[in-house]
């Protein structure tokens, strides 16, 4: 079995759990305070991971290893962090206003549309019938979830 399929499942589960827990934390603390706590902890986890990869590079796949100095920073490197901030602040707001199922279905459709556009424009992978059908049925799922 290819265990890589478990990664997107874990990401999907984590996204909803994180959003739900952040929503629950934000009730007594406020969302800004909850995000600060969460992101400081993510910074700590990231630093531990980073220095672990530097100290024991052989223990990690090449994908994780540092390949260029941090001084090679480019302006567009801020885009992933902006996207991450939108995710961690947007999911709790969405869950609190329209519920987890509607948020999840809308996220999946938005991810499908964006991934198809990414494939076409960046990776030069054309859309095929199965992808188009998948997108169509995800739009049907959105309609069912939103109008239920």
In this predicted model, what pLDDT tens digit does every residue of 16-49 receive, in sequence order?
Answer: 899 899 999 999 999 999 999 999 999 999 999 9
* pLDDT for residue 5 is more than 90: no
* pLDDT for residue 53 is more than 90: yes
Report CA torsion sign: 4, 38, 83, 26.
positive
The share of the chain scoring above pLDDT 70, in percent, equals: 100
* pLDDT for residue 1 is more than 80: no
In this predicted model, what pLDDT tens digit does every residue of 64-92 receive, in sequence order?
Answer: 988 888 889 999 999 999 999 999 999 99
> Over the chain, what is the mean pLDDT?
91
Give yes or no for a contact between 76 and 4, defined as CB atoms under 8 angstroms apart. no
Predicted TM-score (pTM) of the model is 0.78
Task: Return the pLDDT at 145.
Answer: 85
Map tokens 């499942």 to a residue.
9
Question: Could you tell me which residues come within 8 angstroms of residue 144 by beta carbon, excluding any fewer than 6 positions away?
Answer: none
The helix or strand, by DSSP H or E, that contains position 2, with its residue range, turns out to be none
DSSP string of 33-57, one letter each residue:
HHHHHHHHHHHHHHHHHHHHHHH-G
Residue 131 has φ and ψ, to the nearest 5°, of: -65, -40
Give yes or no for a contact between 100 and 16, defined as CB atoms under 8 angstroms apart. yes
In this predicted model, what pLDDT tens digit does every residue of 8-25 receive, in sequence order?
Answer: 889 888 988 998 999 999
């Amino acid at each position: 079995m290819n265990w890589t399929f478990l990664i997107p499942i874990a990401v999907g589960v984590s996204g909803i759990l994180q959003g739900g827990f952040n929503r629950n934390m934000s009730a007594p603390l406020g969302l800004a305070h909850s995000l600060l706590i969460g992101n400081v902890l993510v910074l700590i986890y990231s630093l531990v991971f980073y220095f672990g990869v530097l100290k024991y590079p052989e223990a990690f796949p090449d994908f994780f290893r540092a390949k260029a100095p941090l001084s090679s920073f480019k302006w567009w490197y801020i885009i992933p962090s902006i996207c991450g901030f939108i995710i961690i602040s947007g999911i709790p707001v969405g869950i609190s206003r329209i519920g987890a199922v509607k948020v999840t279905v809308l996220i999946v459709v938005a991810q499908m549309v964006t991934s198809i556009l990414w494939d076409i424009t960046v990776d030069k992978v054309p859309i095929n019938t199965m992808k188009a059908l998948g997108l169509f049925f995800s739009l049907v799922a959105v309609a069912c979830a939103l109008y239920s």
